[in-house]
Amino acid sequence: MVTMMNMPLERPAVPFFSSGPCAKRPGWNLINLKTESLGRSHRSKIGKSRLALAIDLTREVLQVPADYRIGIVPGSDTGAVEMALWTMLGPKPVEMLAWESFGEGWVTDVVKQLKLNDVIVKKAAYGELPDLTAVNTKNHDVVFAWNGTTSGVRVPNADWIAADREGLTICDATSAAFAQKLDFSKLDVVTFSWQKALGGEGAHGVLILSPRAVERLENYIPAWPLPKIFRMTKGGKLIEGIFKGETINTPSMLTVEDYIDALEWAKSIGGLEALIAKSERNAAVINEWVAKTPWIANLAKDPKTASNTSVCLSIQDAEVVAKGEEAVAQVAKGIASLLDKEGVAYDIGAYRDAPSGLRIWCGATVEASDLDALTPWLDWAFQQEKAKLA
C-alpha cells in the first residue's frame, strides 16, 4: 500500500511556468515601463527612437555581430520565420529539419504552401534529433529550430554547419535566444519572439539577417506574390529602415517598452552569460529531481541535447503506463489542472501536439527557488491523480 504524501507547505512565490508567454522578469512592475511613446505615432521621433533602442539593446545583449541586421516584424516568431521562408527559399535545394510541432509547421509551409520541388525533409521523433551530420549544409539551404519548444530537445552546437556554406541557414531560435549560445557565424537568418526567454508580451517577432541573407534578398525574386508585410526589398535593395526601427506595420509601443525593460534587466544581471547560466541552473533543478524520481523522465533522450528552457517531461510510472496512453494523458492533464487550481503552477501541460506529459519553463526569468518549491507539489499531484485511476 502506498503512503500518500501530505500536501506540501511551501509554495512557489511566482507560479508562472508557461513556455510562452513566459514569466515576467524578477521584480517586474507595470509602473517601471516608460510611457512617453504611448499615444504617439510609431513613426514620430520618440517612437522611432524607442524602436531603435530595442534593436540596439537586442544586439548588445544577444551579442549579434555588427554587420547583421535586426528588425522588429509583425506576427511574433511565426511571422519572422514566414518572412524568411517566403522571400529567400527557392534558388537552392532545401533541407527541412523537424523533430517537433513547429518544425513540422515549417515543413508544411515549404512543401504544401510554397510547393517547392527540391525539398529534403529529415524528421525525428519527439525527444530526439535527426542525424545532423547527414545534412548538406555546404550546398543546400537549411531550415531548423535551434530549440524544440514542444519537445525539449535542442541542437548541442553549430559544429555540423559548414563554415564555407553556399546556402543559407534559417534558424527558428524563439525558445533558445537569451538562454542558449547561438553561433551567429553559422546562422544567416535567426528569428525569435521576445515573449519567450525574456517574458515580454506577444505579437511581435525579431528577424536577424546576416550579410549573406541580405545578398539573397537583393538578388533573388521569388516566383510567387509576396504580401506587403513580407516585403523587405524595394527596387532590388534592402529596405534599411525596417532594421532601424521603421516597422512594416504599426507595433504596440507598450509591448516595445516592456521588451526594453526586459533587456535592461538582462544587462543589469550580467548580460547573455548570466541569462544562460541562470537558465542552466534552473533546468538543473528539474533534471536533478527527475534523476531521483522514478515516475517521471525527461522527454529528451540524450542529456546533451536536452533543453534548458522548455523542459519536457513524460510519465514513466510502470503502473500508469500499463493502463495505456489514455491513462497517461489523464494523469498528466490532471497534474497540470490540480496545480493550476492550487495556484502552485500555471500552464505546465505538454503542448497539444506533443506526447502527453508536462512542460516546465526554466528560462532566466524563472527563479530556481520557485522550481525547488514546485517539485514536491509535482510528486504530490502525481499521487493524487494516479489514485484516481484505481
CB 257 within 8 A of CB 52: no
pLDDT of 3: 80
pLDDT band for position 120 (cuts 50, 70, 90): very high
Q: What is the pLDDT of residues 320-342, one digit of tens each?
A: 999 999 999 999 999 999 999 99
pLDDT > 90 fraction of the chain, expressed in percent and rounded: 97
Q: What is the pLDDT of residues 129-140, one digit of tens each?
A: 999 999 999 999
Bin 247: left if φ > 0, else alpha if -120 < ψ < 50, else beta: beta
Are β-strands 141-145 and 94-98 bridged in parallel, bridged antiparallel, or unpaired?
parallel
pLDDT of 68: 98
Q: Burial-class residue 5 by CB neighbours within 10 Å (0-12, 13-18, 19+).
A: middle
54 has pLDDT over 90: yes
Q: What is the pLDDT of residues 195-217, one digit of tens each?
A: 999 999 999 999 999 999 999 99
1 has pLDDT over 80: no
pLDDT of 69: 98
Q: What is the pLDDT of residues 100-112, one digit of tens each?
A: 999 999 999 999 9
